[in-house]
Amino acid sequence: MLWNDSRSTLESETLTSRIPDIGMIAGVPPQPGFTAPKLMWLKAHEPLVFAKINKILLPKDFITLWLTGCHVTDTSDAAGTLWLDQGKREWSSLLCDASDVDLNWLPPLLNGFDKAGEVTSLASTALGVPKGIPVFAGGGRCRCWCYFNWCDNTRAVFHIARNVWSASDC
């Protein structure tokens, strides 16, 4: 389900009824664009698919996994799941339990500037790039947009990077 799919509106309301102060923990109130209500919808409407889940990755984190073999994410993208306790900067067992998600499915949290891993032999061969190139955790599009706009000498990179985002500019 894409970020703009609104089928999980009821599940967003359910999260609010289960944890009335969820916005204080997650930093935002539940909305259908977040991952937690989407997974709740999946469990209700596609239980056989939901039963096969053993890891959860966001799109850029799947690319990191393919490049490095490392199952990780950064805190800015994690904030868009509704499972992150924003104050503690860690996954919340309360929020995971409320949406029937196993905390073990979620990747370790890194800062965007942390090294996630290195390009593996397999990725090196497939892409024609040297093995061992560092791959960093990165960040959500709005966080990166703010950073690139702050650094005048990286504006050219920003214009390239924004073309691969799946949503409108921030």
Please give the radius of gyration of the chain, using alpha carbons only, rounded to the nearest integer: 17
The answer to whether the CB of 121 falls within 8 A of the CB of 71 is no
pLDDT at residue number 97: 97
Report helix, strand or coil for 115.
strand
Examine the pLDDT at 11 and tell me if it is beyond 90: yes
pLDDT at residue number 140: 61
Determine phi and psi for 65, rounding to 5 degrees: -60, -45
Examine the pLDDT at 135 and tell me if it is beyond 70: yes
- pLDDT average, residue stretch 50-55: 96
> Could you report the per-residue pLDDT of 72-115, keeping only the tens digit for each?
999 988 998 999 999 999 999 999 999 999 999 999 999 888 89
> Could you report the per-residue pLDDT of 108-133, keeping only the tens digit for each?
999 888 899 999 999 999 999 999 99
115 DSSP β-pair partners: 136
